[in-house]
Amino acid sequence: MTRQLTVIIEREGDGYVSLCPELDIASQGDTVEEARANLREAIELFFESASPQEISDRLPGEIYITQLEVAVA
């Protein structure tokens, strides 16, 4: 079984931080590709080791990612 999850990758210093907001799992890497691959591994390990209850507790019903325009003084 596969599942589509959201991944946010952000530059931090000399590397990249990756986050899956649905599961609140993060990882990092020297490149975007490495940060993504490391996050995939962390998520797969979570699904292998977490109880069904923990998985259910972490997965929200819906998640929205959008942009917001705000005035900056």
Per-residue pLDDT, 59: 87
Per-residue pLDDT, 62: 78
How many structural domains compose the chain?
Answer: 1
Distance CA 63, CA 2 (A): 18
Per-residue pLDDT, 61: 73
Residue 32's Cα: distance from chain center in Å? 13
Strand partners, 28: 17
- pLDDT tens for each residue of the chain, 73 residues long: 888 899 999 999 999 999 999 999 999 999 999 999 999 999 999 999 999 999 988 887 777 888 999 999 8
pTM of the model: 0.84
The range of the structural domain enclosing residue 23 comes to 1-73
Sign, CA torsion 17/32/30/13: negative
Per-residue pLDDT, 3: 86
CATH of the domain at 66: 3.30.160.250
Are residues 25 and 39 in contact, defined by beta-carbon separation less than 8 angstroms?
A: yes
